[in-house]
């Protein structure tokens, strides 16, 4: 949203700004792009369009000719892409963003090469081995590159390899894996600037929250189903409670990240809804659908509003604490 | 830039009428509002389901409670705009109220077309009555969906299933340009948000319809519908031409807005580049619309629109791979040539702008 523009229009409406000079004020505030901004945009847009068209053209060309290519030609292509990306890393260096982008491209190209090897040499290997080997091979690059996006990709590959290895979905395993990943990420954030805050740890936290919420709802509230009864967990709700309490304490008082607190609330809401459903479906009202749905609906709305209000107060409190800290530091 | 910093700059330049900055209501983060909105939708849907489960014919009761709740929401949005808690309460009331009104509507009104027309009227009423950006966005999106369904029901006897969507899509592209022009010209708060909500709804509709039309095309191409030719004729031709025209119109309007004479070198260059993009769009459907949204997002300083434009562009490229009008070899040659043309355009544009910058320096 164009917040500067909204603010200026609001101030003009309130009489704090001279409406006759509003267009000038909007230009001064940078509410709309200036001539230099347009030049940069046109330059980058045309470059991006050219890169997209050229790279798509190359991909389409090879896709057209793929079945006519021999094994050696295909390997030459896949390895050529990898070598080109690694050359880019060497030439540009890992300090620059373009070098890191080349490293990411190299990681992707390695996967394509491994898939080609698996396709060409049908050894009967299991699918999880492809992802596991891919993970192992790009791990040193992820360590050296210190690129959050590459680490996210690595974690996603690890999860896929694990899922394929287990051949079934075990929520506790995935929850603990991603929770450990989050803990390591927060620790890395204290040492390296690249891992401090940003969207990447939030995505990892989102994954952990998803798995623990799934476990709490399916197994904690509903006790699991017959098809997955062997995965029954009596501790699902306890695990959820410990995660929620730990997450709240750490991100409220130590790391101070409001998004994570909102995540805990987002996890609580479906859990509360499921619990209400379970409670009312076993009560004496269970045959009265109107009462059940109406009660649950009203309670869900009420709980949501209460949670929202609570979070809003916490948000304001955290913002005030932040402001106090800035003022103290300035003094 | 923080609001206080912005105020200080404006005050120093003499734009303000008072010393102190007016008080600003704190805003909740977008993810908090999204989480609460989703949960409120769930609660509202359950309440509506409760009335669905009611076995009696209670359309009048549904309508009564629906209007009551919708009226409460309308009052809350107007009485305390920007208040976080009351805003969430109003959202809940509005969702329940509108849901109950829709329920009453489907109980009393028979026939798909009549129901769709009432839904359209309801969406329009919600848009006008609810003084809230999200409510207006949802109402505008719902209205567009209903219009699409009405068009489809009107054209249902046509064997060209894509025909109705093609003209609607092209029409929406023009409407998109018009709406965002109005948004950027409007200097009254919060009137610009009216236009913005419609603008975003149109952008989302164009994104969704792009994928729907592709799916329909793929379905007809695979013989999924009886009496439809296995290879449809040159489809989406009107869409490609009209969406290119919309992009051209918007570029010309931007040049006029920035006071760049059409006869000047930069203007001719930009119009030339736009023409190249339009011609590229004649081979690749939806490219012109994707770029239209991207450029509009930049012009209006709307990052969400920029994101939608990028998604559409990548989507258009991916879909082009599967369009069977021409083979992959011809597509690859076309893309390589287009890429070369864009690089040449970039080079000429850089030279033109640096020439113009030098001239500006000389004048100063």
Tokens of B183: 């948004």
**CB atoms A57 and B336 under 8 Å:** yes
**CB atoms A22 and B332 under 8 Å:** no
Return the residue matching tokens 């690129």: A147
Q: Which pLDDT value is given to residue B178?
A: 94
B21-53: per-residue pLDDT in tens? Answer: 887 777 788 888 888 888 888 888 888 888 777
Q: Which pLDDT value is given to residue B232?
A: 45
Contact A28, A1 (CB under 8 A): no
Q: How confident is the model at residue B230 (pLDDT cuts 50, 70, 90)?
A: very low
Q: Residue A117's CB: how many other CB atoms inside 10 A?
A: 15
Task: Enumerate residues 230 to 259 of chain A having a beta carbon within 8 A of any beta carbon in chain B.
Answer: 258-259
Give the range with max mean pLDDT: A36-40, A235-239, B90-94, B290-294. Answer: B290-294
Q: How far is A175 from chain B (nearest CA, A)?
A: 21
CA distance B290 to B210: 10
**CB atoms B299 and A33 under 8 Å:** yes
Q: Which pLDDT value is given to residue B138?
A: 92
> In this predicted structure, which of A73-87, B109-123, B214-228 has the lowest mean pLDDT?
B214-228
Chosen for mutation from B2, B5, B6, B258 (greatest number of chain A CBs closer than 10 Å) is B6
The mean pLDDT of chain B is 83
Q: How far is A60 from chain B (nearest CA, A)?
A: 5
User: Which of A4, A13, A50 minimises the CB distance to B342?
Assistant: A50
**CB atoms A308 and B84 under 8 Å:** yes
B113-165: per-residue pLDDT in tens? Answer: 888 899 999 999 999 999 889 899 999 999 999 988 888 777 665 545 566 77
Q: Is the pLDDT at B106 greater than 90, yes or no?
A: no
Residues of A in contact with B1 (CB under 8 A): 4
**CB atoms A297 and B84 under 8 Å:** no
Contact B239, B170 (CB under 8 A): yes
A5 at interface of B, judged by CB pairs closer than 8 A: yes
Chosen for mutation from A4, A27, A50 (greatest number of chain B CBs closer than 10 Å) is A50
SS (H, E, C) chain B: CCHHHHHHHHHHCCCECCCCCCCCCCCCCHHHHHHHHHHHHHHHHHHHHHHHHCCCCCHHHHHHHHHHHHHHHHHHHHHCCCCHHHHHHHHHHHHHHHHHHHHHHHHHCCCHHHHHHHHHHHHHHHHHHCCCHHHHHHHHHHHHHHHHHHHHHHCCCCCCCCHHHHHHHHHHHHHHHHHHHHHHHCCCCCHHHHHHHHHHHHHHHHHHHHHHHHHHHHHHHCCCCCCCCCCCCCCCHHHHHHHHHHHHHHHHHHHHHCCCCCCCHHHHHHHHHHHHHHHHHHHCCCHHHHHHHHHHHHHCCCHHHHHHHHHHHHHHHHHHHHCCCCCHHHHHHHHHHHHHHHHHHHHHHHHHHHHHHHHHHHHC
User: Which of A16, A49, A273 minimises the CB distance to B16?
Assistant: A16
**CB atoms A16 and B343 under 8 Å:** no
B45-96: per-residue pLDDT in tens? Answer: 888 888 777 755 578 888 888 999 999 999 999 888 778 888 888 888 898 8
A276-302: per-residue pLDDT in tens? Answer: 888 888 877 777 778 888 888 889 888
Residues of A in contact with B361 (CB under 8 A): none
Q: Which pLDDT value is given to residue A10?
A: 83
A90-133: per-residue pLDDT in tens? Answer: 998 888 888 888 899 899 999 989 988 888 887 777 888 899 99
Residues of B in contact with A273 (CB under 8 A): 42
Q: Which pLDDT value is given to residue A230?
A: 47
Q: Is the pLDDT at A86 greater than 90, yes or no?
A: yes
Which stretches does DSSP call E strand in chain A? none
A304 at interface of B, judged by CB pairs closer than 8 A: yes
ipTM of the shown complex: 0.84
A309 at interface of B, judged by CB pairs closer than 8 A: yes
CA distance A264 to A251: 10
Query: How is chain A split into domains, by residue range?
Result: 70-167
The residues, any chain, with a CB within 8 Å of residue B1's CB and separated by 6 or more, are A4
> In this predicted structure, which of B108-117, B188-197, B216-225, B324-333 has the lowest mean pLDDT?
B216-225
CA distance B334 to A57: 7
Residues of B in contact with A290 (CB under 8 A): 50-51, 53-54
A275 at interface of B, judged by CB pairs closer than 8 A: no
A64 at interface of B, judged by CB pairs closer than 8 A: yes
**CB atoms B35 and A43 under 8 Å:** no
Q: For residue B16, what are the β-bridge partners? A: A17
Q: Is the pLDDT at A327 greater than 90, yes or no?
A: no
**CB atoms A294 and B50 under 8 Å:** yes
Q: How confident is the model at residue B279 (pLDDT cuts 50, 70, 90)?
A: confident
SS (H, E, C) A224-239: CCHHHHHHCCCCHHHH
A228 at interface of B, judged by CB pairs closer than 8 A: no
Tokens of A27: 């230009």
């Amino acid at each position: 949203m164009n917040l500067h523009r909204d603010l200026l229009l609001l101030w003009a409406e309130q009489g704090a700004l001279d409406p006759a000079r509003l267009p000038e004020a909007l230009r001064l505030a940078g509410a709309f792009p200036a001539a230099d901004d347009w030049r940069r945009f046109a330059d980058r847009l045309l470059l991006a369009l050219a890169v997209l068209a050229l790279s798509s053209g190359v991909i389409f060309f090879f896709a057209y000719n793929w079945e006519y290519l021999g094994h050696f030609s295909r390997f030459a292509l896949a390895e050529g892409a990898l070598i080109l990306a690694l050359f880019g890393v060497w030439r540009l260096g890992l300090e620059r963003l373009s070098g890191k982008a080349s490293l990411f491209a190299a990681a992707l190209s390695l996967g394509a090469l491994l898939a080609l090897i698996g396709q060409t040499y049908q050894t009967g290997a299991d699918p999880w081995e492809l992802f596991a080997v891919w993970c192992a091979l790009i791990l040193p690059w992820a360590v050296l590159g210190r690129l959050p996006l590459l680490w996210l990709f690595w974690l996603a590959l690890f999860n896929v390899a694990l899922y394929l290895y287990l051949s079934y979905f075990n929520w506790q395993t995935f929850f603990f894996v991603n929770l450990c990943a989050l803990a390591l990420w927060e620790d890395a954030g204290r040492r390296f600037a690249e891992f401090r805050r940003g969207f990447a740890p939030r995505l990892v936290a989102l994954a952990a929250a998803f798995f623990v919420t799934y476990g709490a709802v399916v197994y904690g509230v509903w006790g699991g189903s017959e098809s997955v009864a062997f995965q029954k967990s009596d501790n699902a709700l306890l695990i959820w409670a410990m995660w929620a309490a730990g997450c709240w304490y750490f991100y409220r008082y130590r790391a101070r990240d409001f998004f994570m607190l909102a995540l805990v609330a987002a996890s609580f809401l479906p859990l509360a809804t499921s619990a209400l459903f379970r409670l009312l479906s076993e009560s004496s009202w269970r045959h009265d659908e109107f009462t059940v749905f109406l009660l649950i609906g009203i309670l869900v709305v009420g709980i949501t509003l209460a949670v929202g209000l609570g979070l809003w107060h916490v948000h304001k409190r955290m913002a005030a604490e932040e402001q106090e800290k800035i003022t103290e530091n300035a003094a | 830039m923080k609001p206080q910093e912005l105020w200080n700059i404006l005050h120093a330049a003499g734009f303000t009428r008072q010393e102190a900055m007016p008080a600003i209501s704190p805003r909740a983060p977008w993810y908090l509002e999204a989480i609460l909105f989703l949960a409120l939708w769930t609660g509202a849907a359950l309440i509506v389901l409760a009335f669905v489960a009611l076995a009696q014919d209670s359309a009048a009761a549904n309508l009564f409670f629906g209007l009551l709740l919708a009226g409460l929401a309308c009052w809350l949005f107007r009485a305390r705009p920007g208040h976080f808690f009351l805003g969430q309460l109003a959202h809940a009331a509005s969702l329940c109220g509108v849901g109950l009104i829709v329920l009453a509507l489907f109980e009393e009104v028979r026939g798909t077309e009549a129901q769709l027309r009432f839904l359209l009227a309801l969406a329009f009423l919600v848009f006008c009555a609810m003084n809230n950006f999200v409510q207006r966005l949802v109402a505008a999106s719902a209205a567009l969906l209903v219009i699409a369904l009405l068009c489809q029901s009107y054209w249902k006897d046509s064997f060209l299933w894509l025909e109705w969507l093609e003209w609607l899509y092209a029409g929406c592209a023009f409407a998109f340009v018009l709406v965002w022009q109005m948004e950027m010209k409007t200097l009254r708060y919060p009137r610009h948000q009216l236009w913005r909500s419609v603008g975003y709804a149109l952008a989302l509709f164009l994104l969704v319809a792009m994928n729907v039309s592709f799916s329909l095309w793929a379905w007809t191409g695979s013989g999924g519908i009886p009496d439809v030719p296995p290879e449809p004729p040159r489809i989406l031709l009107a869409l490609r031409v009209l969406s290119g025209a919309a992009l051209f119109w918007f570029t010309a309007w931007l040049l006029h807005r920035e006071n760049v004479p059409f006869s000047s070198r930069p203007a001719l260059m930009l119009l030339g580049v736009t023409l190249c993009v339009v011609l590229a769009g004649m081979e690749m459907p939806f490219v012109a619309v994707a770029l239209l949204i991207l450029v509009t997002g930049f012009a209006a300083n709307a990052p969400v629109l920029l994101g939608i434009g990028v998604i559409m562009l990548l989507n258009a490229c991916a879909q082009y791979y599967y369009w069977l009008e021409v083979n992959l070899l011809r597509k690859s040659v076309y893309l390589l040539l287009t890429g070369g043309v864009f690089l040449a355009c970039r080079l000429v544009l850089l030279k033109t702008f640096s020439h113009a910058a030098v001239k500006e320096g000389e004048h100063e």
